[in-house]
Amino acid sequence: METSKLRVKGARLRASLEQMAQIGATPAGGVHRLALSDEDKQARDLFVRWLKEIDLTATVDEMGNIFGRRPGRNDQLPPVMFGSHIDSHPKGGRFDGILGVMGALEAMRTIHENGVQTERPLVIVDWTNEEGSRFAPAMVSSGVWSGALERDWAYSRTDINGKKQGEELERIGYKGPAPAKKWPTHAYYEYHIEQGPTLERLGKTIGAPKGILCLHWYDVYLQGEANQVGPTPMEGRHDALCAAAEMILAANTLPDRMKGNMVATVGEIQNGPNSRNIIPDKVHFTVDIRSWDDSHAITAWELLKKDFKEIAARRGTPIRIEETWRCPHAPFNEKLVQRVLDTAQQLGYSVHPMVSGAGHDASYMNQVCATAMIFVPSIGGRSHVEVENTTWEDCEAGANVLLHCLLTTANER
Ligand code: GLV
Ligand code: MN
Ligand code: MN
């Protein structure tokens, strides 16, 4: 059939997003749907039901990744894969991740109801625990699937309450039987909100990232000496929180000291015993460093680590550092990126080439096959927060770009 006129149904995409947004809805309009929580399970169950409604073969692998497969005319050919994630941050937004899954589903529904037969199979995917906020690191299950991370290490990762990722997978009934192991794949597309201000500022509808920055995560543990705050003089204290405060500011000034081309953030901290009248003796905090240049990020970390050790020694707060995770920067397949640019233009949408500062499962998929992403604007450039928002028109536009990228790519020999 003539497929160039096909378009997704924006109203149906909106309805699916709104229904998903009810699962873990927060009073301030966001979503709290942490990986492998009861809310994650509920959203997964709904997703699987929707896959089956359009005759997709649903499988779950041992990392809980959910795949929905539609056969191709030549079913032996490696498939085109596309999707994103269902989990959210604590008090996160209604679009991060889920737009890429519901947009992908909407493209599949459109293909299904129009009886379109593609040459290659199509596989929609929901990757488990993309955010990494409950169990570090992020993108862990595409990491295992691609062969970059080890399954048993992933299972052993614990949340703040000591729950293990593997056990939580089992608890919610999503430790599936299929091996989490890559298969030959022709191409991967991920549709996502931009999560930054660029598209909105430029008044563009579609972003075509040329790739994703590297992501390096570190965990820092400080040991101080707890004591009564009143009688203990200021001199001679070993205050772990004060040491952390100096370290956090050292991280904040790191990009300037490195002359840019990177960002550095401390986003999470635990302070113990966390009482107003006890000198803190146990602090844990995280460091996130990102750059397009992996070696620049590592040089920056070496400098910061030196700062941390100097501060810890001066304040008498022994330090332990874990180099938790490094995901290299991911330069996407140029042909596929160009296809996103061309497809957007053919559909009449304005488009802008850019770089992704946010991490995505597309990083690990880029190690498996030709990969590209499709971005739509984030209102006010806000993301990972409850006010995260994107217009319904833009949601629909991105899904149309995805649909037509899929049709072209799935008919490639
Ligand atoms: C993933 O959401 C990230 O932190 O970029
Ligand atoms: Mn995301
Ligand atoms: Mn995110």
**What would the two tokens of residue 94 be?**
């209604």
Percent of the chain whose predicted confidence (pLDDT) is above 90 = 99
- Distance of CA 157 from the midpoint of ligand 3 (Å): 19
Ligand 1 in reach of 358 Cβ (< 6 A): yes
Mutation to probe ligand 1, out of 384, 385, 388 (largest number of atoms < 8 A from CB): 384
Q: Which residue has a Cα nearest atom 1 of ligand 1?
A: 359
Max CA separation in the chain (angstroms): 83
Ligand 1 in reach of 138 Cβ (< 6 A): yes
How far lies 68's CA from each of 43, 251, 356, 402, in Å?
15, 42, 27, 16
* For range 357-361, the mean pLDDT: 98
Whether 62 contacts 180, CB under 8 Å: yes
Whether 139 contacts 87, CB under 8 Å: no
Ligand 1 in reach of 213 Cβ (< 6 A): no
Residue 358 has pLDDT above 90, yes or no: yes
Give 2's pLDDT tier (boundaries 50, 70, 90).
Answer: confident
Mutation to probe ligand 1, out of 128, 213, 215 (largest number of atoms < 8 A from CB): 215
Ligand 1 in reach of 131 Cβ (< 6 A): yes
- Distance of CA 2 from the midpoint of ligand 3 (Å): 37
Condensed to tens digits (0 to 9), the pLDDT of residues 205-217 reads: 999 999 999 999 9
**β-pairing verdict for 66-70 and 122-127:** antiparallel
Residues in the chain, total: 413
Query: From the CA of 31, which ligand is nearest?
Result: 3
Whether 206 contacts 398, CB under 8 Å: yes
- Distance of CA 113 from the midpoint of ligand 1 (Å): 34
The pLDDT of residue 355 is 98
Residue 1 has pLDDT above 90, yes or no: no
* For range 29-47, the mean pLDDT: 98
Q: How far is CA 148 from the centre of its chain?
A: 16
Ligand 1 in reach of 359 Cβ (< 6 A): yes
- Give the ligand 1 atom nearest the CA of 358: 5
- Distance of CA 73 from the midpoint of ligand 2 (Å): 32
Dihedral sign, Cα of residue 162, residue 165, residue 169, residue 175:
negative
Q: Is the peptide bond before 273 cis (omega within 30 degrees of 0)?
A: yes
Percent of the chain whose predicted confidence (pLDDT) is above 70 = 100
Across the chain, mean pLDDT equals: 98
- Give the ligand 1 atom nearest the CA of 97: 2
- Distance of CA 192 from the midpoint of ligand 2 (Å): 7
Q: Which residues contact 329 (CB under 8 A, 6 or more apart)?
A: 211, 212, 213, 214, 291, 292, 293, 294
* For range 43-65, the mean pLDDT: 98
- Distance of CA 350 from the midpoint of ligand 2 (Å): 23
The count of other CB atoms within 10 Å of the CB of residue 366 is 26
Mutation to probe ligand 1, out of 84, 131, 141, 288 (largest number of atoms < 8 A from CB): 131
* 3 state SS for the chain: CCCCCCCCCHHHHHHHHHHHHCCCECCCCCECCCCCCHHHHHHHHHHHHHHHHCCCEEEEECCCCEEEEECCCCCCCCCEEEEEECCCCCCECCCCCHHHHHHHHHHHHHHHHCCCCCCCCEEEEEECCCCCCCCCCCCHHHHHHHCCCCHHHHHHCECCCCCEHHHHHHHCCCCCCECCCCCCCCEEEEEEECCCCHHHHHCCCEEEEEEECEEEEEEEEEECCCCECCCCCCCCCCCHHHHHHHHHHHHHHHHHHCCCCCEEECCCEEEECCCCCECCCEEEEEEEEEECCHHHHHHHHHHHHHHHHHHHHHHCCCEEEEEEEEECCEECCHHHHHHHHHHHHHCCCCEEEEEECCCCCHHHHCCCCEEEEEEECCHHHCCCCCCCCCCHHHHHHHHHHHHHHHHHHHCCC
* For range 355-363, the mean pLDDT: 98
- Distance of CA 359 from the midpoint of ligand 1 (Å): 4
The pLDDT of residue 371 is 99
Whether 169 contacts 37, CB under 8 Å: no
- Distance of CA 360 from the midpoint of ligand 1 (Å): 7
- Give the ligand 1 atom nearest the CA of 360: 1
The pLDDT of residue 128 is 99
Condensed to tens digits (0 to 9), the pLDDT of residues 267-279 reads: 999 999 999 999 9
The pLDDT of residue 413 is 83
* For range 63-92, the mean pLDDT: 98
Whether 60 contacts 353, CB under 8 Å: no
Residues that place a CB less than 5 A from ion ligand 2? 96-97
Whether 47 contacts 102, CB under 8 Å: no
Residue 374 has pLDDT above 80, yes or no: yes
- pTM surpassing 0.95? yes
Give 315's pLDDT tier (boundaries 50, 70, 90).
Answer: very high
Q: Is the peptide bond before 137 cis (omega within 30 degrees of 0)?
A: yes
- Give the ligand 1 atom nearest the CA of 359: 5
Beta bridge mates, 322: 219
